[in-house]
Structure 1
């Protein structure tokens, strides 16, 4: 698939939602890169875990799915946010890393379409994404059980960071504080660190009335919300993070 390929999205308003996702991502890193994958419908799993090698053959006539993976640098470990969109028709498979800013510029909200920009050299995280399959459901907590604990963590981070003398308020100090708070287990799902809920909230996925599910695959955990999912990696385990093709382009 060439760098100037234009993809038409199947759902009205989807281009605007994708643009909002990228705007939020760029607030954390103005030079952010995202990994794009286009696969045939039916090759993705049931929970935003879209992934597929470039040479995977698409079923004849099948519509495509666009998945955008971006990293949120929350603390030292961060989280990977995934936004997917159905395409209006078939599309050849693609797997590349691109500039998030350039992708945002190439979104045509009026036509619900996006033109794929040229690939860039990707950051290390883009070479190892959550697996496409093998997820098992752990829990389905209502958002009302998650949001109060999340907001308490936000307030704690704000209060404690502001209490640090300005000349000591370095990135390393703030990252250490973020890691302390967001690494805590979520009360509703102790296997899931609060970092996943925080990432889902700041990227715009987690709403007070959202229906949530939590899944595990190897050392990966994933929090699904209607608008997208967030994946975090725990301590490495056997087969952790496998199931994806190497990064190409």
Structure 2
């Protein structure tokens, strides 16, 4: 077993923000894993909340220039965060899920125009949630099954936001994980190859517009 030194955050508030992110991930999946990458005084934490089919990314500044690349239990990492001390104990590594080997690129990102403001994105999510509930209620009893509801959800959340090509499920994920800021804080959309990335002051949501089969190593 390799014992890793604790991560010390440049600001204790970043430890609290990371804890909030991990709490949401564990809420969706008690067995959630996250991949940690650190270098040059920065930490990136990647997670994949179930059903959204996106990657959620939370970053933080570190006191030391630590080099780290490991996949760990989200719950154990959450347990190892000491918010008042502004540090986190990195737990033992785990066998990473397939998605952990398919991360977005670090560079080559270009702005994508047409993204609505935060109020518009929240409105789009609220309208989609309302439509899902209405269509679910209209289902006759014999069709009110998990498969039928999942099909309705896939149809609604696969719709794209305006002309951006960004699926609504990515915006829903950003809102559910606490990434959409209040007020008019800046948000932006970027593309790099087959990837899209919704960036906000609280984190990013990334997804491939051309999915690959998870479990098959990319060439």
Place the TM-score, normalised by the shorter chain, in its bin: 0.7 to 0.9
Equivalence map 1:1-249=2 (5 Å): 2-40=2-40, 64-74=41-51, 78-91=53-66, 93-139=67-113, 141-164=116-139, 165=141, 168-170=144-146, 172-187=147-162, 189-209=163-183, 210-235=185-210
- Specify the SS of the correspondent of 2:78: helix
Kindly report the root-mean-square deviation, in angstroms, between the aligned alpha carbons of the 2 structures. 2.2
Distance 1:90 1:4 in 2: 14
Q: Name the SS for the 1:121 alignment partner.
A: coil
- Give the whole-Å Cα distance in 2 for the aligned partners of 1:163 and 1:184: 21
Q: Distance in 1 between matches of 2:96 and 2:211?
A: 22
Taking the aligned partners of 2:200 and 2:165, their CA distance within structure 1 comes to 17
How big is the shift at 1:167?
8.1
Distance 1:157 1:121 in 2: 36
Cα deviation code 1:57-111 (max 9, x no counterpart): xxxxxxx111110002225xx11000000001221x1111110000000000110
| Contiguous gaps of at least 5 residues in structure 1 | 41-63, 238-245
The separation in 2 between residues aligned to 1:106 and 1:119, in whole angstroms, is 14
- Secondary structure of the equivalent of 2:106? coil
**Between 172-181 and 214-223, the greater mean CA deviation after superposition:** 172-181
Output the TM-score relative to the length of structure 1.
Answer: 0.78
Deviation at 1:162, TM superposition (A): 4.8
- Structure 2 length-normalised TM: 0.88
For structure 2, the 5+ residue unaligned runs are 213-217
Distance of 1:236 and 1:74 partners within structure 2: 15
- Counting matched residue pairs gives 210
The 1:136–1:113 alpha-carbon spacing in structure 2 relative to 1, beyond 3 Å, is same
Q: Distance in 2 between matches of 1:122 and 1:31?
A: 12
Distance 1:131 1:154, change over 3 A: same
Q: Quick one: distance in 1 between partners of 2:177 and 2:74?
A: 14
Structure with the bigger RCO (C-alpha within 8 Å, sep 6+) is: 1
